[in-house]
Structure 1
């Protein structure tokens, strides 16, 4: 048995802000993917994944019993498949902000949900919000609290524009420039980040008036402008807003940026060779970089692993 592939995702804009109703833009990233599998001779990592799946299945059984109106699963079949060794075969790095748990949630919903909403339907706002709520409840197993956006992106395999908490839609993004010199890239911090502690720090900060005010008047403002610029293909304005966003994050989200990258982050802003921002909740994993000149950025970041995800 081998199930369909589900891809990783990149939240280009909106991390933390979408908790407070900023705009957001998530795109599928096909470089990494995962699928449910059963094999005759499972590896150690397959056996480990199988053990995690059993815990997750028990959580889903409880969820279904607590909220049958939200979602029901063919839970007996799921448990039989896990019993015979089903696991999630995934190349998506965990703790890197690219949606490893989201792809797993999408795969299990796709295979076992009863009366599932399919990607072939006319996806009205109601259906999208229903999927987002189901996925949020499922993915909470991993993070304590989830918006449901990562699994939604993985499940639909489409760019998703978040206008606000209750207003999301599939988005058309400008096609990539074949020979563009500008790029969005992933920068590997070389360490795993954990979502729950980072979200906890953010929620504690939200209790302060000054932080809330900064979030609304600077962070959300620049995030919204970046989303608009990106969708409209206004590259010049986009880089101005990404630079401002990068500054705001460096000044106000320091715990989410691994300490050894503070200097590199600042260098990008001062030299204009590249601008860095968080990819997901931060604390490790990937950071997102934006540059108008990829060669310049590669020279400035010599010794670091860059993965290009989009070209201008």
Structure 2
């Protein structure tokens, strides 16, 4: 497949949102239900194509205004020429939904115009750093993990000291004993102010201590039990994670879905967590009994999307 048609997928940050900013483990996987690629505008130039081209030009101006940084990692002149020729990003990844729309775009830009063409486990950290700088133009601060997932198109485990490992997950085995689903909140979330709010909260010693002593350990327990297919341990950990987010990240949970979130905790039938930064987009759910969970969802008239092993990782 040539570069013009190369596909980039969305992502699911299964565990580690926010805490990864303070050095915790994180597990992120490609989400192949959504995809995107570069193309050039047709002679008819649809409104979608023109809007995407216009947005790319706006982002290019950001790159150009920081050319002292991006000149060293991108071929800006080639990008500019392609934009003049009608380059646009043809994407099915919903924007501001926590599934990596900006990450896929940054990955596509770097794959086509970046100075690092080879990707292996030895240079993942350097690649992540470059992608972090690119995505910071959208969110103010980016770990670089989202675009890295789209770039390598494989699950990545972030461990201590920002160590990165490509991992093979036995998703079929996990999904024989549990169901993963997404709930569409029908509203967009704005990542930058939510991340900035979290970083501001972390200036409080009490809040930062909660993150370090409570959130980070339980997130890491979720990751370890998920990767080892230890279902009992996983649901004990995800219950604790869901409870922590309900109590401490309330402003990141859309108001209309807080009752459903609490229902899951109280009934012990399912657990919800943020999918990305929250504030809208999708909520990520886990259950051992989807039939019972569907009763709650249908009663409260919430739409959901069941995730299969072919769309995860």
TM tier, smaller: over 0.9
* 2:14 equivalent in structure 1: 12
- CA offsets per residue over residues 77-108 of structure 1, 9 Å max, x none? 21121112110000000000000000011111
* 1:307 equivalent in structure 2: 305
* SS of aligned partner of 1:80: helix
CA distance in 2 between partners of 1:66 and 1:179 (Å)? 43
Q: Answer whether contact 1:162 1:169 (CA < 8 A) is retained.
A: yes
Q: Which blocks of at least 5 consecutive residues in structure 1 are unaligned?
A: none
Question: CA shift at 1:60, angstroms?
Answer: 2.6
* 2:43 equivalent in structure 1: 40
Which aligned pairs between 1:158-173 and structure 2 lie closer than 5 A? 158-164=154-160, 166-173=162-169
CA distance in 2 between partners of 1:167 and 1:308 (Å)? 31
* 2:78 equivalent in structure 1: 77
Question: CA shift at 1:144, angstroms?
Answer: 1.0
* 1:103 equivalent in structure 2: 104
Question: CA shift at 1:64, angstroms?
Answer: 4.2
CA distance in 1 between partners of 2:274 and 2:170 (Å)? 22
Which aligned pairs between 1:277-288 and structure 2 lie closer than 5 A? 277-288=273-284
CA distance in 2 between partners of 1:2 and 1:277 (Å)? 36
* 1:113 equivalent in structure 2: 114
- CA offsets per residue over residues 186-219 of structure 1, 9 Å max, x none? 1111100000111122112112222111111111
2:141 is equivalent to residue 145 of structure 1: yes
Q: Which blocks of at least 5 consecutive residues in structure 2 are unaligned?
A: none
Q: Answer whether contact 2:74 2:110 (CA < 8 A) is retained.
A: no
CA distance in 2 between partners of 1:178 and 1:162 (Å)? 20
* 1:22 equivalent in structure 2: 24
CA distance in 2 between partners of 1:58 and 1:67 (Å)? 11
Question: CA shift at 1:56, angstroms?
Answer: 1.6
CA distance in 2 between partners of 1:294 and 1:87 (Å)? 40
CA distance in 2 between partners of 1:50 and 1:79 (Å)? 11
Output the aligned Cα RMSD: 1.8
Q: Does the C-alpha gap of structure 1 residues 179 and 223 become closer, same or farther in structure 2, counting only changes over 3 Å? A: closer
Q: Answer whether contact 2:174 2:231 (CA < 8 A) is retained.
A: no
| TM-score, normalising length: structure 1 | 0.93
* SS of aligned partner of 2:226: helix
CA distance in 2 between partners of 1:178 and 1:209 (Å)? 37
Question: CA shift at 1:300, angstroms?
Answer: 1.3
Question: CA shift at 1:67, angstroms?
Answer: 5.4
